[in-house]
Structure 1
Amino acid sequence: MARHEQIEKSVLGTMLAENYLIADSGVMRDFFISHVHKNIFQCMQDLFAAKRPVDFVTVLTMMDPTALGGANYLAELTNFASPTKFDGYVEMLLGTWKNREKNKILIQATESDMAIGEIQKALEDLEKSGNAGLDTNIQMDLIRMGERPYEPLVETPGVTTGLKDLEKLLDGFQPAELTIIAARPSMGKTDTLNHFALHAGFAGYRPIIFSLEMSRTSMIDRLIAVTGGYNRLRMRNPYTHFTTKQKANWMPTLGRLDEANIHIDDRAALKVSEMRATARKIINSEPKLKPIIFVDYLQIIRGDYLQQNRTEIVGQISNDLKQMAKEFDCPVVCLSQLNRGVEARDNKRPMMSDLRDSGNIEQDADVIVFLYRDDYYDKETASPNRLEMNVSKNRNGPTGMATVCYVKETGMLHNIDWQTERTV
């Protein structure tokens, strides 16, 4: 019982810290065992419905303090707040509530000699309850599709990649899909991610970047270099190395980057559950902007699992990333390392088997794109600044190769006009 009380306190404390969870989580008053917690939750619901702030001060105005455990008890609830554990705790509350209700149904069935059919229906209704907003019947979907053959198709493209050849294959990053961008080191993975994030932001989306390897400052410097076309070596000391024209363009560049509405979380060794909690908070802070989530990179995400096998852990992480894409109905684009086997082959273009600690990555990902630069291995004869993007898996579209121009000095990616061989 003490453990369950701690869970109830954590759920309420998290709701006091993040008010949107009061409505979004699907929690009901009866989920709580403690009568004090029932009263607190009811006050929180009433305040939220009235569009008033919900904190321990406003909750105290809704009911006699003794019915809420007292002012100190209520104030201390925020110490139990844990956004990363919130979803798991809500599932526990729901599970124990269903067990209590099931026992009530069975006791009632024994005392009143209920028919088997009635018992089954009561248990089925119980199983469906607590899942707020869930509707599995497809009848209304079929009705809405009635006129489909007689209406012109209105295509809704995904989040733009900003690269014409890649767009032909992917039609943008799609909601609820996990895209893996994989390559060996120094191929331009992070610059590719920054390019996608900037174009998504300029197109009106909310890019959320989890930079597990690179610091926030370094990521911002790279984004500034791309936005302003600055050489990254000069960026180390703009005061000394920038020209007068480049200095004059500095503030307009910062203003332009600000328009991309990018968020960066550079905490090291994050778990997917921690990413999900952060993303949920950002998404709910401004729900009008649709999100797209970027992760750099998969192999350094911290596991939260009992498996000892590294391949199993990475496989579980990729599955959790896919579930996050489905939960938020937004694209999740994650970078991934390739194993060293690539270097031992004459043809060093990546293949599926090169995915490092692959586990279920190939199975979970909707799209897998391999990056490759020939001039990294052959500086003498290879075409310079050519970055190949090989779409090797595309669950809902074609596979194929897109080639772009990659300027390492600035981190910029450009389309190529193949008639003139010039960048556009």
Structure 2
Amino acid sequence: MGYEFAEKSLLGSMLRENYLILDSGLRTSYFSIPVHQEIFTAMRELAQAGKSVDYITILISREPKDVGGANYLSGLHRFANMARFDEYKELIIEKWKEQEKKSLLHQAIHHDWSIADIQRSFDKLEGLETKAVDTSMTENLIRQYERPFEPLVERKGTPTGLTDLDHVLNGFQDSEYIVIAGRPSMGKTDALNHFALHAGSNGHLPIVFSLEMSKESMTNRLIAATGEYCRLRMRDPYQYFSEQQKSSWAATLGKLDNAKIHLDDRSGLKVSEIRAAARTIIKANPTKRPIIFIDYLQIIRPEGQPANQTQAIGQISSDLKSMAKEFNCPVVVLSQLSRAVETRQDKRPIMSDLRDSGNIEQDADVVAFLYREDYYNEEAKPTNMLEIQIAKHRNGPTASICALYSKNTGKLYDFSKRKVSS
């Protein structure tokens, strides 16, 4: 019954979002119920022909009884679950593989296959055939031939809005998993908002998953940073805003809207649900390069029932890295640090402060720590200085750069500009 439900959910989701029919990689043979095989075959044929796929077009293309009839087809919409599409897909594929393994072993015994033949069959089943993978270097070397004789045309990553940080990272790079870590109230969410605003203002597609803050709270923060408004005054702009601030309000909202930030504030999401939501947004905006932001890693819900928190975070971290590769875009994730940093005389974070966080350090392409001196020394004169320490950079140098940070507005500035609004 569970597998039948999963198959119905996949079909219902594909009826709702037609692009999944061809993009999902599903095959007719993965479905165990004959009527579902017939429905999927009809859906795929219609999609390949560039036609709309709904229960009417399916009924027209097949004998109604072969696809369960009109009521059965129209009822599939009730089972649609975009957030769990990937989970259900893996479920039915694994079931299909188990059945195929049993069939292969039966054939192997009946026909007295060699061990090598059995291994090849199992490799084919798992999609590991070497002939399907181009391992030759020749074509790549041909493309390299003119490199010493042509100026470098470097494709920059998504700009961060901080000159020194862009110099080190060359922007946030596609397929990279970037972790930005710091203690609570260090400025992580404001840094995320800065990066999202700058990416959107430069024509990219920022997709923000705010698992902790509501959409209203995030929107207020984004408005304050965009308009350089004091967040205390933002509680009641009518009462506390100056006439100049009120006159700039409409332009600020317009500027924020032009960034076209997509904000999902559902709490307790799994990586599979984040992936499903991101895929839908990316598919709806095919001309823009996406960048995904998540606030924050430790409150993402794990898949299944991991043995402990370390295993859970390790699984989540690995899944986030896979998502960056799948979408070929940067995935920027905020992370909390352990309390160990508070016990040291030098409070600047180090890699071991991630030690209770599974394999974050191993998976991440970039690990950046945020640090403010006045966070720990209340008697010190506020400097508005925010250190961003690149502690790990898989494809480039490590470094420590500075930005200016206004805690009142939540806005980050290039250090070279040396200007902070109050």
Structure 1 residue 417: deviation in Å?
Answer: 2.3
Question: Equivalents in 1 of 2:160, 2:295: separation in Å?
Answer: 17
> Within 5 Å, which residues of 2 pair with 1:23-422?
23-98=22-97, 100=99, 125-128=124-127, 135-139=133-137, 140-355=139-354, 357-382=356-381, 384-417=383-416
Structure 1 residue 212: deviation in Å?
Answer: 0.9
Question: Equivalents in 2 of 1:80, 1:277: separation in Å?
Answer: 16
Structure 1 residue 243: deviation in Å?
Answer: 2.0
Match for 2:88: what amino acid?
A: Y
Question: Equivalents in 1 of 2:28, 2:158: separation in Å?
Answer: 39
Question: Equivalents in 2 of 1:118, 1:312: separation in Å?
Answer: 37
Structure 2: gaps of 5 or more residues = none
Match for 1:396: what amino acid?
A: N
Question: Equivalents in 2 of 1:300, 1:124: separation in Å?
Answer: 37
SS of corresponding position for 1:208: strand
Structure 1 residue 127: deviation in Å?
Answer: 4.3
SS of corresponding position for 2:232: helix
Structure 1 residue 98: deviation in Å?
Answer: 4.5
Please tell me whether the aligned partners of residues 406 and 420 of structure 2 are also in contact (alpha carbons under 8 angstroms).
no
Question: Equivalents in 2 of 1:118, 1:185: separation in Å?
Answer: 57
Question: Equivalents in 2 of 1:224, 1:52: separation in Å?
Answer: 42
Structure 1 residue 250: deviation in Å?
Answer: 1.3
Q: How many residues align?
A: 419
Match for 1:40: what amino acid?
A: I
Question: Equivalents in 1 of 2:25, 2:313: separation in Å?
Answer: 30
Structure 1: gaps of 5 or more residues = none
Structure 1 residue 376: deviation in Å?
Answer: 2.1
Question: Equivalents in 1 of 2:306, 2:33: separation in Å?
Answer: 35
Match for 1:283: what amino acid?
A: I
Match for 2:65: what amino acid?
A: T
Structure 1 residue 123: deviation in Å?
Answer: 5.6
**Any idea what the Cα deviations from partners look like across 1:71-111, whole Å, max 9, x if unmatched?**
11112212222223322333343344445556666666777
Please tell me whether the aligned partners of residues 415 and 423 of structure 1 are also in contact (alpha carbons under 8 angstroms).
no
Please tell me whether the aligned partners of residues 305 and 313 of structure 1 are also in contact (alpha carbons under 8 angstroms).
no
Question: Equivalents in 2 of 1:129, 1:364: separation in Å?
Answer: 23
Please tell me whether the aligned partners of residues 123 and 129 of structure 2 are also in contact (alpha carbons under 8 angstroms).
no
Distance 1:207 1:138, change over 3 A: farther
**Any idea what the Cα deviations from partners look like across 1:216-258, whole Å, max 9, x if unmatched?**
0010111111111111111111111222222222111111111
Distance 1:5 1:241, change over 3 A: same
Please tell me whether the aligned partners of residues 13 and 81 of structure 1 are also in contact (alpha carbons under 8 angstroms).
yes
Q: Structure 1 residues 390-399 or 147-156, which shifts more?
A: 147-156
Distance 1:243 1:151, change over 3 A: same
Please tell me whether the aligned partners of residues 28 and 130 of structure 1 are also in contact (alpha carbons under 8 angstroms).
no
Distance 1:130 1:44, change over 3 A: farther
Distance 1:121 1:315, change over 3 A: closer
Question: Equivalents in 2 of 1:62, 1:300: separation in Å?
Answer: 46
Q: Output the TM-score relative to the length of structure 2.
A: 0.91
Distance 1:24 1:135, change over 3 A: farther
Question: Equivalents in 2 of 1:374, 1:112: separation in Å?
Answer: 73
Match for 2:215: what amino acid?
A: R
Structure 1 residue 126: deviation in Å?
Answer: 4.6
SS of corresponding position for 2:153: coil
Distance 1:107 1:204, change over 3 A: same
Question: Equivalents in 2 of 1:129, 1:63: separation in Å?
Answer: 35
Match for 2:361: what amino acid?
A: E
Q: Structure 1 residues 268-277 or 75-84, which shifts more?
A: 75-84
